[in-house]
Structure 1
């Protein structure tokens, strides 16, 4: 179980690393999964983690479940491990930069956003 201070810190960390709004993330998940023949239903677009991040963004802290807290920790850890705030490029210049940016955007972090 997470105590109130830990939850407050996690809530702040999560909202610091998830720098996309729920609207931006929902749109990205739909675009990411769309192909030339079809676009998924909004509630079915994206990875399970991306969908869960979107759900957490639409909740109040008091409504979080244990599963939400687990996903929030996972996202904070993933973004912290993959992002480099001191050396983030201002543009995407390589295919690897593009793949990395897209991976991070799937969990709500756009490295090109200030």
Structure 2
């Protein structure tokens, strides 16, 4: 596992890029997986990464596992590649923008949230 200073920085970065609450993310994962024919069980909705982000949001920093730390790095890196967090949120205007927003929301980042 990362040293204490590195873990502190990662914890801050993760909570900066994951701007959805655990309730918002859980609701999004359920909506995202809802289909005409069937829906998964609520605790199984969404991607495995989305479910892992949700679990991390419900933990204290001292309870993190090595797997949690790996997912946190992955989420921070992926969101950082897809979004310039310094920019103002841009309106979603094209299908590509909508897909990008939905991908980010699966990771816990809503680009339209201030």
What is the TM-score with the length of structure 2 in the denominator? 0.96
Q: Would you say the 8 A contact 2:56–2:64 is kept in 1?
A: yes
For 1:14 and 1:84, how far apart are their aligned partners in 2? 15
Residue 38 of structure 1, CA deviation? 2.2
The residue aligned with 1:111 is: 111
Could you list the runs of 5+ residues in structure 1 that have no partner in the other structure?
Answer: none
> Normalising by the residue count of structure 1, what TM-score does the alignment of the two structures yield?
0.96
Tell me the equivalent position of 2:27.
27
Consecutive aligned runs of 4 or more in structure 1 exceeding 3 Å deviation: none
Distance 2:42 2:6 in 1: 32
Q: Secondary structure at the match of 1:111?
A: coil
Does residue 88 (structure 1) correspond to residue 89 (structure 2)? The answer is: yes
Q: Which runs of 5+ in 2 are unaligned?
A: none
**1:68 and 2:62 aligned:** no
- Structure-2 separation of matches of 1:52 and 1:101: 19
SS at match of 1:77: helix
Alignment RMSD: 0.9
- Name the CA distance, whole Å, in 2 between partners of 1:76 and 1:28: 19
Aligned to 2:55: 55
